Chain A
Amino acid sequence: MERPLTQRIRPQADPMNLAEYEDTGGYEAARKAVQTMAPQDVQRLVTDSTLRGRGGAGFATGLKWSFVPMGLDAPRPKYLVANADEMEPGTFKDRLLLEGDPHQMVESMVVSAYAIQAEVGYIFLRSEYKRAARLLHKAIAEARSHGYLGRNLFGSDFSFDLHLHTSAGRYICGEETALLNSLEGKRAIPRSKPPYPQTAGLWGKPTVVQNVETLYNVPHIVRHGVEWYRGLGHGHEGGTKLYGVSGNVKRPGTWELPMGTTMRTILEEYAGGMCEGFSFRGLLPGGASTAFVTEEHLDLPMDFESLPRAGSRMGTGTMIVLDDRTCPVGFVRNLEHFFAQESCGWCTPCWEGLSWTERILEGLEEGRGRPEDLDLLTMHTRLIGPGRTFCALAPGAMDPLQSALKHFRADFERHIHERRCPWREQGATIGARR
């Protein structure tokens, strides 16, 4: 099985330096693109590969790039930003790539910047990824001193420089327009769209924001071609995907697998199934902002097209597993606490609604639940749904709640009837276990 994105990652060892990276074919895609291809040809390859964004929304990458103004009269400078803010609860995939192969981040930026003719790049890294910051600084410095960043790359007239920006801890910075405000030194409130960043982004200039994992695909597509790339996937979505599993499974972790591997394979073969004494109840397929799927859906492929059939989304592709010894209401309460706390406060339905849902869930957990609470919760899932807020934080927050009310309704009702959390006394939600 080919694992292009993680092929150079050596567990427990330092990542490859520039020489080692080059010995394994590193920077060949950058050289090939810059020396032998027109920017539009690189864009076309990415479009034909059907690569879709790995940051959660799954937007087609080639299509996104096609909105960037090209040619001599395009506004300058143009910017490329790697979204390395990774703060979606339950998501731990970009860290692996950044810490395991930082030179691939640099090369991915060079190739992608060439495709949209960006002169300046930023890697927007969350503050807590200290090791990644150290390794990226080193990789950038090495690349710059070898002439792989800076002026006239590979003897061409293409120039591109890359900078690392480390943030200071706030989930909303991952939203691409909030990220731009954050980079400009403002409070990280999302911007209203249009205009879209591709035409008016950083300091009003054309800007593409792309997830780390998305970018890591680009050099491989350029180097080995579309046919090879599409052949990596199981279904008609090509390539590989970083999948992860956390929760009470035997071997939590992250694996690069063919796009479209089924949830059951990931859960049972790679994560080793449930821990002894725990049974499966459901999972969020890709981070906190996705809807629960249950046992009956596990044979669906984990890809962008299949998950909607189960009423959910692939999101980031890192699953969070709910087991029978963990309270589903407490689970959702934990998530809504996160979303309420991280709301930027711009839209009333978001900041008021999310803290209200958190309070209702807290009441249920503490034995103060009333029968009308379930209707109130359902009402919120509608009021805070898509299209009512400036960004996707709020509707994303409603996905786990809405689906939990559907799949685990009886558990919500038990909290109300028994006036307590049925899981509390069993000690199921306390105590570290492995």
Chain B
Amino acid sequence: MGQTLFDKIWDAHVVSSAEGFPDILYIDTHFIHEVTSPQAFDGLRKRGLPVFRPKQTVATADHNVPTWDQHLPIKEELSRYQVDMLTKNCAEFGIELYGLGHPFQGIVHVIGPELGITRPGCTYVCGDSHTSTHGAFGAIAFGIGTSQVEQVLATQCLLQSRPKRMKIEVNGQLQKGVGAKDIILYIISKISAAGGTGYAVEYAGDTIRSLSMEGRMTICNMSIEMGARCGLIAPDETTINYVKGREFAPKGEAWDKAVAYWQTLYSDEDADFDKVLSFDAADIEPMITYGTNPGMGIGVTQNVPATTDVEKAEQPSYTKALNYMGIHDAEPLLGKPVDYVFIGSCTNSRIEDLRQVAEFVKGKHKADNVTVWVVPGSKQVQEQAIREGLDKIFEAAGFPLREPGCSACLGMNEDKIPAGKYCVSTSNRNFEGRQGPNSRTFLASPLTAAASAITGVVTDIRQFLKEEELV
């Protein structure tokens, strides 16, 4: 019997395996940030322990940082305190910190890949559920809680039971205007916000293979939104070309050796998955969510389901979600006015996302009723966008380019969507109050978000593409 990609990587990292115990899994790189680490460092101090492998720990400040005037001290006292604590803890325990002002600072799941820290065949953890992003490189990467952050700091290992394996295949040609974000929102809408719980999900099929690394990261990023432990995609030429030459990527002989290993990382033909699902790319429309979990999504031209179409046991939760969102039973979303558009987050804040949005908005201007925030995922993305002149295009369109951070994805900084307002967001969660107390989030792709910013209402990007083809 052949092995799955997941099992190959897992087996290569098992330090110890004993009957009745979870495996002790070796972690190649541990990413930390200011929100889920302070109590872990406190725990180490109480136990009198050092960080076991500080050189395999990478820190950044992202959740709390302002996205405007980043050179000034953080205004919000508790945010500033948390970032200061991270600085202090990293200094005390000998950890490299890419804090505010550092050229490598940014969202933890954006900087790992762009610095060449994220590589095929490795294991990554972080006290953040979107650590699943790094699986796009053919790696095992998942989010952990603070007690586990402490465990990895203390031992560079994690006690973990092997999850079941699921394969999700997507094959066929995507429609124009449909991208990675639509694929993953579509899959989650089909299998629900709990459909992947207990599984490591490998994405396969020619549609997935055709995606850029940025697109693959968007897919793996949202694996957690179907409950999956992690998501991963077998490395190929696209992966190798992306990693090559990056700051911390292997060089010379080490590079050749690494590539030779990476080429062995795929699921064998006869590998056994606990579950296999297949989807046809042609069925996928530009997607949008209407509810309060990422599984509540529809094609942008469809109507919100009627309550009577929902299973009886789920109807109370469904009604609660629609009430929160201020949406009626069976209502169309197309044409619904929006107040905010947020382009950013670890799902869609990479240079390719910004380029795609800039290309679309060039020569257009946002609607008067919409406030637009474009938040790059990292300092490097911001600087590259400026080098490429994207900031000027955004400025002219009324889309000011801000500074890097998690921003309005979860609003731990000043960037919050006001109560009752609608935001088309490229982030990953539409939970109640996610973007600010009583804010209302429609999750969508960067193109759908940008098109909605231009028209001021929920928009089908394909409408623009048709018009532009005619010109």
Are chains A and B native binding partners rather than an unrelated pairing?
A: no
Seen from chain B, the residues whose Cβ lies within 8 Å of a Cβ on chain A are none
